[in-house]
Amino acid sequence: MDEKQEQIKETGSIDLGENKKRHKIKLLTIIGEIEGHEAVSGSTKATKYEHLLPMLAEIEDSEEIDGLLILLHTMGGDVEAGLSIAEMIASLSKPTVSLVLGGSHSIGGPLAVASQYSFIVPTGTMIIHPVRSNGMFIGVKQSLQNMLRTQDRITGFLAKHSRMKKERVEELMLNPTELVKDVGTLLEGEEAVAEGLIDEVGGMSDALRKLHKMIDEHQEKECGEQTDEIK
């Protein structure tokens, strides 16, 4: 197994650099369940946040990487882990683009909108629903308050990093008519864009084209700032 294949197998990432613009792009995949402090079952496809956080820090610090492309196909998972990854992505200074493929549900929503620009394929889906409780739930007022505060963090993040108002996020999240035996809303590609959650419907070529353009603009801005410093 060569180095690239090993990198894909171990981290779900690969370096792209053989393009006409000579831009060095890190391709990162967020697939399956977002794994937090507790490991998911061995048969479940998972993205481990302890792998992603150091990788994102390396992307920010590296002079060899010009931009980040994120491919998403996740049903959600650990809320705290997902939010920590989303905050890391949002804090990167380098150009970032995300592309939702099959779906980006639940905590996958913040992960999809954390990049500077987001795409979704026409058949892609986003599901917005309230926070779920796993394991033992202590039925006291404080437990409910903690869940509501976590939910508020998610709606706030979605609103801050998309064109949706927080009130609209909450409305879709608590919709009782969209999902069978559940509360929430499923948005397909065009609907996610129309609601302002995702920036544009498109595929791989669109995402890469946009990222190359953003890298060019970022590099021009940096060159301008360096010239001003010299003067």
Query: What pTM was estimated for this model as a whole?
Result: 0.83
Tokens at residue 176, please?
A: 């009782």
Return phi, psi of residue 208, to 5°. -70, -40
Q: What is the pLDDT of residues 155-195, one digit of tens each?
A: 999 999 999 999 999 999 888 887 766 788 999 999 999 99
pLDDT band of residue 115 (cuts 50, 70, 90) is very high
Neighbours of 10 (CB within 10 A): 9
Report the catalytic residues.
106, 129
Q: What is the pLDDT of residue 5?
A: 46
Model pLDDT for residues 189-224, shown as the tens digit of each residue:
999 999 999 999 999 999 999 999 999 999 888 777
CA 227 to chain centre: 34
Task: Give the Cα separation of 29 and 11 in Å (integer).
Answer: 8
Average pLDDT over residues 44-64: 84
